[in-house]
Amino acid sequence: MIGNERHSLPGVIGGDLLRHGKIPVITLIAVLVSAVLVVTTAHKTRLLTAQREQLVLERDALDIEWRNLILEENALGDHSRVERTATDKLHLQHVDPAQENIIVQQ
């Protein structure tokens, strides 16, 4: 009696693939693994590109702020402005170095 043996379909397919289809199975696994790696690499590349773009925008903003601070420092550090502010707001007077020695000695 030839038809009395019962085999499960997954077992028969798996046995046939292992006996006659090793190269196609290996190729299929290699293709799937490479596809997953390509998708992962593309995702990471997009994330890094977005991060780089954000850092470039941040750098540009900091560069603009730095230039504004230099301009502000130059404007505030101008000697004539400092002298005018000291005279007008603080009512300070310019001291002659010769008179300073007299005041210190007294």
Longest C-alpha distance within the chain, in Å?
Answer: 135
Helical ranges in 1-106 per DSSP H: 9-20, 22-76, 79-88, 97-105
Which DSSP category does 92 fall into? -
Query: What pLDDT sits at residue 76?
Result: 77
* 92 vs 2: which has the higher pLDDT: 92
Query: What pLDDT sits at residue 1?
Result: 43
pLDDT, tens only, 14-69 = 888 888 888 888 899 999 999 999 999 999 999 999 999 999 999 999 999 999 99
Structure token digits, residue 82: 């400092």
- Tell me if 86 sits within 8 A of 92, measured CB to CB: yes
CA 84 to CA 76: how far, in whole Å? 12
CA 29 to CA 52: how far, in whole Å? 34
At which residue do the structure tokens 């046939």 appear? 16
- Tell me if 86 sits within 8 A of 78, measured CB to CB: no
- Average pLDDT of span 76-85: 77
pTM, to two decimals: 0.52
pLDDT beyond 50 at 71: yes
